[in-house]
Structure 1
Amino acid sequence: MPTGNPLLVEIQERIRAVGAISFCEFMDLALYAPQGGYYNRPQMQIGRRGDFITSGSLTRDFAELLTEAFVQMWHALDCPQRFTLLEMGAGEGEFADVVLGYSQATYPDFFAALKYQIQEQSPSLRERQQQRLARWGDRLSWQGAETPAESIIGCIFSNELIDAFPVHRLQWQGGNWQEIYVTLDKQGAFQEVLRPLREDRIHEYFATIGIDPQQQGYADGYRTEVNLRLIPWLKDLSQRLEQGFVLTIDYGYPAHQYYHPARCEGTLQCYYRHRRHNNPYSFVGEQDITAHVDVTALTRYGEKFGLETLYITRQSLFLMALGLGDRLLAQQQSNGHLLHALNRHQSLHQLIDPLGLGGFYVVLQGKQATLKLPPLQEADQVFRATQRGTSPRLLND
């Protein structure tokens, strides 16, 4: 194992000090260590030149369409004089820039009420965001872990954030869960070992999402993940949200699919220069490590903390309900530059591709607030007539 990487040395020293660390701690260090963690590296980029593409980095249409939803939320709250939009993890800042610009040009009354906040863990990304968004002045502010949480009326939004929370990796062995830890072999390379569970919260987690591992018929060697970081994150959001909405977009599965016996290797995956693979111990600090989101956990814990589940749908349906189809039609009828038109047409289709970004889950939760989106409600009625016993308002399972 190369030793020129300070992050590798830090993780090795941590392991030697305690013998083994949980995979959750390993993933936390690999992604968020102050010196060398993936999201703290100045070289880390999101978009076509980086390791992965998000909807916001693909086309400004994504942020403009989401702005349509934020405006509807503002109206649903009776147009408060201050509507706070808190973006959790803002990437390169493209999304915020488009939302502010589009609101100013298209919905001036909403823009007058809009206060944009960003909570960003990465100092490197925060610096880039501040440079990109400097023109918005005090219309926009940053929140850190050390910033006292203020009461919010508005919306808390995240896109592809929860999938990067460090997860506990589990293996079914001898009729019980074992947790995967990381140690070093004689050559100093990372090596996995199994340890008995130390987290009672993992048993509580499965009870909350309605999965009884003893009844699943798992074979020895079955692997999966549990995202315990989701729980305090949701609790914090609910506590700071006085009234309004939580809008979460990410890739994932409902619990009965996530923990199905056939998904025997779990969902952990890594991204390095747009190449996807499943080895988290290579390119440490230079690659993204993710796990799919348990959508059932997002809704069940949200409800525990006072967040009502309003809609669960796919990104494709959500964006179509907000007007993406109209944009496609208008774009096809335009006489603009051909190459630009082709690129935009392709980007719009990528947003709704059911095998890609369009298959992402959109979860809308409310606190003392509701939002009526007729196109989604109509689809919901059809779905609920054919799918009983699943999560509320799940439009495409």
Structure 2
Amino acid sequence: MKEANETQLSKEIIKMINDSPEKRITFYDFMKMALYAPELGYYTKDRKKIGKSADFYTSSSVGPIFGQTIANSFVELLQYASEKETFFILEMGGGDGRFARDVLNAMFEKYPKIYQSLTYFMLEASPYHQDLQREHLERHLNHVKWIDQLQDLPQPFIGIIFSNELVDSFPVHKVKKVNGKFKEIFVTWNEERESYEEITAELSHPSLEDYFIQQKVTLKEGQVAEINLDAIDWMKHVAQRLTRGYVITIDYGYPADELYASHRHEGTLMCYYQHTANDNPYQLIGEQDITTHVNFTALMEEGKRWGLEPVWFSTQSHFLMNSGILEMLQEIGLDQMKNKDLFQDEAIKMNRAIRQLIMPGEMGETFKVLVQQKNMGSYQYRFMTSALKQYGL
């Protein structure tokens, strides 16, 4: 039995279940409603989601150092991609706009010539987040354009398409291995118990079984797994709109063989509310985030079908260190420490943010970075060269 909360959104989901011929909906449909129902879903309502007083942190929440460091890689890649003095970046799902602000601030200060010729596109479905983005990007509005869909990008689009913690928020199908066969997990409503319940039945679409064949993975008996078909579709459309340049995807996840390993017997779905994690998507509907880990193998394989060549896949820690984050460490002598506020001093805060972004056990290992390129030559990018070698060690 699963907990339900009497919200308008929950009532609409229950109505959807009761109106369906078999009195059930796919978990995909449930998750899509919980996250994206107009004005009621978690991502579509006017509600703060990122930060200390909200539900979760992103790398940009740690401080400006994340965007400042990635700006270094953006500048390098833009110069390889563009044959003219016109530079394009598209950020998809930019949250409250802090990352874009930090990137543009860094470019304005360190790379003024590129900044002057740059258009930074933002694709954001939430009107609430668009308003936050405009607020944070006030000083850069002459260089920022908001679009509603990928088709609104100028063609040809030559530059960078970037996302950070976007793909993990796409709705997913849930499947389970039962008696040697793939079954799908559906959501029903138990009127007597006033609760959501999960049942298994035949797959809603044959593409779900085809997915595991293509990924060359098998599930153990009783194992539950998520299938993110929207991520594959997203990768296809992103690749189609990019004429020349790069796709950079940062998120938490694994290659397929690791993602669907038998020790992840219940899958990877997690919910977040006020910085507390749980695995029950049937409570706090519309008030809590629901996420699953990303299958990076699927993104790479779909990208290849549309001309995207994978050039880098590793941890955020390696990417940021190779992109110059260690150069921003502030030297603080022991004799200076007694005169500094450990919580407010800017140098200490900067060093603490760098540690959080790159250290094992924190964001550095949890998040992965996938860089794909299209219609580009073979280059030895800085982020592909070990930070130790860059310092001659």
Q: TM-score, normalised by structure 1?
A: 0.89
Task: Pick the aligned partner of 1:16 from 18, 36, 43.
Answer: 18
Query: Could you tell me which residue of structure 1 aligns to residue 390 of structure 2?
Result: none
Q: Do structure 1's residue 106 and structure 2's residue 110 form an aligned pair?
A: yes
Q: Label 1:275 to 1:245 Cα distance change in 2 as closer, same or farther (>3 A).
A: same
Find the residue that maps to 2:243 and give its secondary structure: strand
Shift of 1:136: 2.1
Gaps of 5+ in 2: 388-393
Tell me the CA shift for residue 209 of structure 1: 2.1
Equivalent residues of 1:150, 1:240 under 8 A apart: no
| 1:110-166 superposed Cα distances (whole Å, 9 cap, x missing partner) | 102210001111121112212322332231111113863433110000001100000
Deviation at 1:6, TM superposition (A): 1.0
CA–CA distance in structure 2, aligned partners of residues 378 and 75 of structure 1? 21
- Quickly say closer, same or farther: Cα 1:79–1:103, change in 2 above 3 A: farther
CA distances 1:215-248 after superposition (whole Å, capped 9, x unpaired): x5x12x2101010001111111111101000000
Tell me: CA distance 1:184–1:124, structure 2 relative to 1, closer, same or farther (3 Å).
Answer: same
Structure 1: runs of 5 or more not aligned: 380-397
Cα distance in 2 for residues equivalent to 1:80 and 1:310: 24
Q: Find the counterpart in structure 2 of residue 361 from structure 1.
A: 368
In 2, the alpha carbon distance for the partners of 1:168 and 1:2 equals 20
Q: Is the 8 A contact 1:32 1:122 kept in 2?
A: no
The residue that corresponds to 1:65 in the other structure is: 69
Distance 1:286 1:77, change over 3 A: same
Q: Are 1:7 and 2:13 counterparts? A: no
C-alpha separation in 1, matches of 2:383 and 2:36: 40
Whether the 8 Å contact between 1:270 and 1:288 is mirrored in structure 2 is: yes
Distance 1:72 1:223, change over 3 A: same
Output the amino acid matched with 1:201: S
C-alpha distance in structure 1 between counterparts of 2:244 and 2:383, whole Å = 24
CA distance in 2 between counterparts of 1:239 and 1:44 reads 33
Cα distance in 1 for partners of 2:73, 2:215 equals 29
Q: Partners in 1 of 2:333 and 2:89 — Cα distance?
A: 34
Match of 1:128 in 2: 132
1:210 matched to 2:216? The reply is yes
Range 276-285 or range 332-341, more displaced: 332-341
Q: Who is 2:143 aligned against?
A: 139
Q: What is the CA-CA distance between 1:198 and the residue it aligns to?
A: 2.2
**CA offset at residue 333 of structure 1?**
6.1
Quote the Cα distance in structure 2 between the aligned partners of 1:45 and 1:90.
Answer: 13
Alignment of 1:358-397 (within 5 A): 358-359=364-365, 360-370=367-377, 371-374=379-382, 376-377=384-385
Shift of 1:189: 1.3
| Cα shift at 1:368 | 0.9
Confirm or deny: 8 A CA contact 2:31 2:290 kept in the other structure.
Answer: yes
User: How far did 1:46 drift?
Assistant: 0.5
- Where do residues 1-397 of structure 1 align in structure 2 (5 Å cutoff)? 4-18=6-20, 19-78=23-82, 80-145=84-149, 148-151=152-155, 152-185=157-190, 186-211=192-217, 213=218, 218-219=220-221, 221-328=222-329, 330-332=330-332, 338=341, 339-340=344-345, 341-359=347-365, 360-370=367-377, 371-374=379-382, 376-377=384-385
Quickly say closer, same or farther: Cα 1:375–1:310, change in 2 above 3 A.
closer
Write the distance in 2 (CA, Å) between the matches of 1:332 and 1:153: 42
AA partner of residue 172 (structure 1): K
Helix, strand or coil: the match of 2:89?
strand
The answer (yes or no) to whether the contact 2:4–2:196 under 8 Å persists in 1 is no
Cα deviation, residue 260, structure 1: 1.1
Shift of residue 353, structure 1, vs aligned partner: 2.1
Question: C-alpha separation between the residues in 1 aligned to 2:73 and 2:42?
Answer: 32
Q: What is the rounded CA distance, in whole Å, between the counterparts of 2:237 and 2:108 in structure 1?
A: 30
Return closer, same or farther for 1:78/1:23 CA change in 2, 3 Å cut-off.
closer
Deviation at 1:200, TM superposition (A): 1.9
Q: How far, CA to CA, are the matches of 2:4 and 2:223 in structure 1? A: 31
* 1:247 to 1:183, Cα distance in 2 relative to 1, 3 A: same
- Tell me: CA distance 1:163–1:146, structure 2 relative to 1, closer, same or farther (3 Å): closer
Measured in 1, the distance between the counterparts of 2:152 and 2:92 equals: 15
Q: Root-mean-square deviation (CA), in Å?
A: 2.0
- How far apart are the structure 2 equivalents of 1:198 and 1:167? 13
Alpha-carbon distance, 1:337 to partner: 5.3
Secondary structure (helix, strand or coil) at the match of 1:251 reads strand
What amino acid is aligned across from residue 74 of structure 1 in structure 2? Answer: L
Whether the 8 Å CA contact 2:4–2:282 is kept in 1: the answer is no
| Displacement of 1:61 | 0.4
Aligned partners of 1:248 and 1:363 also within 8 Å: yes
TM-score by length of 2: 0.90
The CA distance in 2 between the partners of 1:8 and 1:44, in whole Å, is 20
Range with bigger deviation, 125-134 or 100-109: 125-134
> Are the structure 2 counterparts of residues 129 and 295 from structure 1 closer, same or farther at C-alpha, using a change threshold of 3 Å?
same
Partner-residue secondary structure (3-state), 2:262: coil
Q: Which digits, 9 at most, give the CA deviation of each residue in 1:176-214, with x for residues without a partner?
A: 111111010123311111111122222232232222x2x
How far apart, in 2, do the equivalents of 1:146 and 1:160 lie?
Answer: 18
